[in-house]
């Protein structure tokens, strides 16, 4: 294997230094490259509260009284975790918020499975995840000028320009290497008229991945507009992106990032509006593009540009010559070996609700579930299945990296698809706190349901606590919204068969007191309506 010379500039470094949405991009970068990684750092213990310790990771600038929170259990508590003392901690990275003191760590025991990554240092973390990154990005962008860099991507769509003497086309690219959130920060490449032949090359390879060499043009709103220089290579095989460590330079021959010379400084940019004054029916939206051999950084904010409907990429009528050299396929990636049940669970491949191998993983509060299972559970119970905290569907978080890992694992080991493991035990906040087994309405004994209905605690229709209870002619108390719909659907007959008009319903203050008292004593009971605790807080007069 040949030795690669270091590259000068990279797209990864450009996006890191010059994002248009720094904090969101940092959050996704953390989830993709650092979440779940195990570190070993030296830290000073500031204070301890129950199962958490506030740490000052070394070296510290003193900007905040502490810069990380370590969560532990009696089994994973580090040695010498004493306030005012320094100690070494081995922990898994969980989350990194907007501020320097919001780094969340979960203590783990060192083992053959929990091997720490010495390449991840707090100095590097602090440099990348900077709460002032957006302000810095606006200033750093001015220094990038005409610097060229490369990335690997696939053309999403191509739009040719017919009425511009300087530019012949622009196209949107889905960047696949290095890691980039294409939805959060779109990448647009503009082609100069002098490079018009490259359009046929792109059309010749509609399903291929390209290594583009570009330079910054302008950055605004949610997109980066880059100037096309050339195509370094076209991949003739199905390209599989590699998720690289946050501070690792790739040494794969097939992922060369070339050292590119920086063009000389050029005069200021002149801007031109695309359009055809002679034909009012052909008026593409305003899209400012610089005249050839001109450049300026950055331009004032402009109104949002509405992209015209893209033209489909079709087979060309002529071929351009010469074409970039096709790179032969890389060697076959070795298959992922079958993991043990414990290893699959530690990699979060197993749903913590069903104990089955997942295909569409998501997370809620640091726990991982199959999307359909957790969504159905939350919609029915309104709470987290393991911690019993109030939860809603909006708390569900996407896990695209984990999903890609599972897809590759199942591709190499199809026999593991839909396999069930012994159900994991729910996590507990403290060993002294005993949590009840999660239950749904279907698990509540009918005897208990009948008792709660008789005591006017729950509605006979919804089987849940009430916010507006109404006494009906049959002696039962119903939730008004539920009984109103039921009467409308059943010819004004109650579930007991008794006929009832809406004006026969009477508000029952005793029932609302019974519902609230039950919910306060049994906040996690399946018969307690989701969000009922907020209702209680708003109605303290009861």
Mean pLDDT to the nearest integer, 31-51: 86
User: Are the beta carbons of 211 and 151 closer than 8 angstroms?
Assistant: yes
**Is 319 found in the same domain as 196?**
yes
**Is 146 found in the same domain as 115?**
no
pLDDT in tens, 330-373: 444 567 788 888 888 888 999 888 888 898 999 998 899 999 99
**Is 457 found in the same domain as 389?**
no
Give the helix/strand (H/E) hosting 156: strand 149-160
Q: Pairing mode, if any, of strands 38-49 and 86-96?
A: antiparallel
Q: Is the pLDDT of residue 415 over 60?
A: yes
Domain range for residue 68?
35-119
| End position of a domain, from candidates 119, 144, 175 | 119
| End position of a domain, from candidates 277, 300, 327 | 327
| CA-wise closest residue to 504 among 474, 534, 479, 459 | 474
pLDDT over 90 percentage in the chain? 17
Domain presence at residue 124 = no
Tokens of 281: 């029916």
Domain presence at residue 377 = yes
Q: Lowest mean pLDDT of 317-331, 439-453, 457-471, name the range.
A: 317-331
Domain presence at residue 227 = yes
Q: Is the pLDDT of residue 290 over 70?
A: no
pLDDT in tens, 487-519: 989 889 999 889 999 899 988 878 888 888 888
Does the pTM exceed 0.85?
no
**Is 164 found in the same domain as 208?**
yes
Torsion angles phi and psi, residue 313, rounded to 5: -80, 120
Tokens of 400: 């695209």
Tokens of 373: 């299972």
**Is 150 found in the same domain as 282?**
yes
- Three-state DSSP state, 213: strand
Q: Is the pLDDT of residue 31 over 50?
A: yes
CA 533/CA 465 separation, integer angstroms: 11
User: Are the beta carbons of 10 and 257 closer than 8 angstroms?
Assistant: yes
- Output DSSP code: residue 461: T
CATH of residue 519's domain is 3.30.40.10
**Is 148 found in the same domain as 99?**
no
User: Are the beta carbons of 456 and 510 closer than 8 angstroms?
Assistant: yes
CATH of residue 64's domain is 2.40.50.140
Domain presence at residue 6 = no
| CA-wise closest residue to 523 among 535, 511, 509 | 535
**Is 150 found in the same domain as 55?**
no
CA 349/CA 328 separation, integer angstroms: 33
Q: pLDDT band at 184, cuts 50/70/90? A: confident
Domain presence at residue 493 = yes
- Three-state DSSP state, 219: strand
User: Are the beta carbons of 380 and 440 closer than 8 angstroms?
Assistant: yes
CA 68/CA 172 separation, integer angstroms: 39
**Is 149 found in the same domain as 91?**
no
**How many domains, the chain?**
4
Domain presence at residue 2 = no
**Is 262 found in the same domain as 408?**
no
**Is 169 found in the same domain as 111?**
no
Mean pLDDT, the chain, whole residue set: 76
CA 284/CA 288 separation, integer angstroms: 12
Domain presence at residue 432 = no
**Is 198 found in the same domain as 152?**
yes
**Is 397 found in the same domain as 465?**
no
Cβ neighbour number for residue 331 with a 10 Å cutoff: 7
Q: Which residue has the higher pLDDT, 263 or 355?
A: 355
Q: pLDDT band at 172, cuts 50/70/90? A: very high
Q: Is the pLDDT of residue 205 over 90?
A: no
Domain presence at residue 336 = no
User: Are the beta carbons of 264 and 240 closer than 8 angstroms?
Assistant: no
């Amino acid at each position: 294997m040949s030795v690669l010379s270091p590259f000068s500039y990279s797209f990864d470094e450009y996006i890191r230094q010059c994002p248009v949405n720094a904090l969101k991009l940092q959050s996704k970068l953390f989830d993709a490259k650092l979440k779940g990684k195990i570190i070993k750092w030296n830290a000073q213990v500031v204070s301890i509260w129950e199962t958490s310790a506030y740490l000052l990771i070394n070296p510290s600038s003193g900007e905040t009284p502490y810069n990380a929170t370590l969560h532990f259990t009696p089994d994973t508590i580090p040695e010498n975790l004493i306030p005012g003392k320094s100690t070494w901690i081995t922990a898994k990275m969980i989350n990194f918020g907007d501020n320097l003191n919001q780094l969340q760590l979960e203590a783990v025991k060192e083992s053959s499975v929990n091997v720490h990554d010495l390449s991840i240092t707090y100095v590097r973390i602090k440099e990348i995840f900077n709460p002032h990154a957006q302000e810095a990005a606006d200033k750093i962008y001015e220094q990038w000028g005409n610097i060229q860099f490369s990335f690997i991507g696939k053309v999403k769509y191509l739009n040719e320009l017919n009425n511009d003497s300087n530019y012949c086309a622009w196209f949107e690219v889905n960047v696949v290497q290095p890691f980039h959130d294409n939805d959060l920060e779109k990448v647009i490449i503009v082609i100069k008229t002098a490079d018009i032949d490259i359009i046929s090359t792109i059309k010749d390879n509609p399903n291929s991945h390209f290594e583009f060499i570009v330079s910054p043009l302008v950055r605004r709103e949610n997109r980066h507009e880059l100037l096309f220089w050339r195509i370094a290579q076209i991949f003739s095989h199905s390209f599989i992106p590699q998720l690289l460590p946050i501070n690792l330079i790739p040494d794969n021959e097939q992922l060369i990032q070339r050292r590119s010379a920086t063009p000389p400084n050029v005069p200021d940019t002149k801007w031109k509006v695309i359009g055809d004054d002679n034909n009012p029916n052909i008026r593409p939206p305003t899209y400012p593009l610089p005249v050839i051999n001109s450049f300026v950084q950055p331009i004032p904010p402009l109104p949002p540009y509405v992209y015209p409907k893209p033209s489909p990429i079709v087979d060309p009528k002529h071929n351009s010559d010469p074409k970039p050299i096709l790179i032969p396929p890389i060697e076959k990636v070795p298959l992922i070996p079958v993991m043990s049940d414990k290893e699959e669970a530690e990699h979060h491949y197993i749903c913590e609700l069903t104990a089955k191998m997942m295909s569409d993983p998501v997370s809620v509060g640091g726990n991982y579930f199959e999307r359909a299972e957790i969504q159905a559970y939350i919609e029915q119970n309104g709470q987290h299945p393991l911690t019993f905290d109030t939860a809603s569907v909006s708390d569900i978080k996407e896990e695209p990296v984990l999903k890609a890992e599972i897809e590759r694992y199942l591709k190499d080991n199809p026999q593991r698809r839909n396999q069930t493991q012994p159900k994991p035990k729910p996590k507990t906040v403290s060993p002294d706190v005993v949590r009840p087994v999660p239950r749904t309405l279907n698990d509540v004994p009918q005897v208990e349901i009948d008792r709660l209905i008789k005591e006017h605690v729950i509605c006979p229709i919804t089987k849940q606590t009430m916010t507006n209870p109404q006494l009906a002619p049959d002696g039962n108390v119903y939730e008004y919204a539920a009984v109103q719909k039921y009467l409308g659907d059943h010819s004004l007959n109650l579930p007991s068969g008794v006929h009832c008009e809406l004006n026969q319903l009477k508000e029952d203050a005793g029932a609302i007191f019974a519902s609230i008292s039950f919910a306060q004593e049994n906040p996690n009971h399946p018969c307690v309506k989701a969000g009922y605790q907020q209702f209680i807080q708003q109605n303290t007069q009861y």
